[in-house]
Amino acid sequence: MLICDHYLNSACQVASPNCDDRPDSEDISLLVIHCISLPPEQFEGAYIDQLFCNCLDPTEHAYFQEIHQLKVSAHLLIRRDGSIRQYVAFNRRAWHAGVSCYQDRERCNDFSVGIELEGAVSLPYTDSQYRQLAAVTQALLAEYPRLSRQRITGHSDIAPDRKADPGPLFDWQRFYALLD
């Protein structure tokens, strides 16, 4: 797995308009792990792409009426089967963290890469997702020198009053073991 010109070579590219320039394009120094499913706890389908590309139809599901106007994105999505979609180039700011703080530094979108795992906080993640997340993380660590194993966190850690993902069923020890 390689990163070429800030794109993951093995990812399906789906361009999201929900991004902009980072204040410092060299400052890629945090990896944030998230989870998402649309509708909640339902997998597959095109709804995540639609949300990140601002074309989610609010009539398709009652939950979509609450979220269809959000302007959000992530750099990557790792689906349950391990396939990867990239929405934003790594050198650009994706809109994934919201109001956030890491080690007394606010606005985590400015300096982080956001990876969504297709899932829910109440369900375990798949073997394929752990393997792909580890491979992607290794590629990111090799490409961006300000990233490190010590600068990987969950959305719940940078926005604890708002977010619970990736949740208690995300196995951090298993993930770190796969990085070795």
Residues annotated as catalytic are 116
Between the alpha carbon of residue 1 and those of residues 34, 53, 81, 169, 174, the distances in Å are 21, 25, 17, 26, 20
- Between CA 85 and CA 74 the distance in angstroms is 10
> Residue 60 contacts by C-beta under 8 Å, 6 or more apart in sequence?
47
Cα 142 to Cα 1, 103, 109, 147: the distances in Å are 11, 23, 20, 9
The encoded tokens of residue 178 equal 């796969």
Give the up-direction half-sphere exposure of residue 19: CA atoms within 13 A in the CB hemisphere. Answer: 26
d(CA 124, CA 43): 13
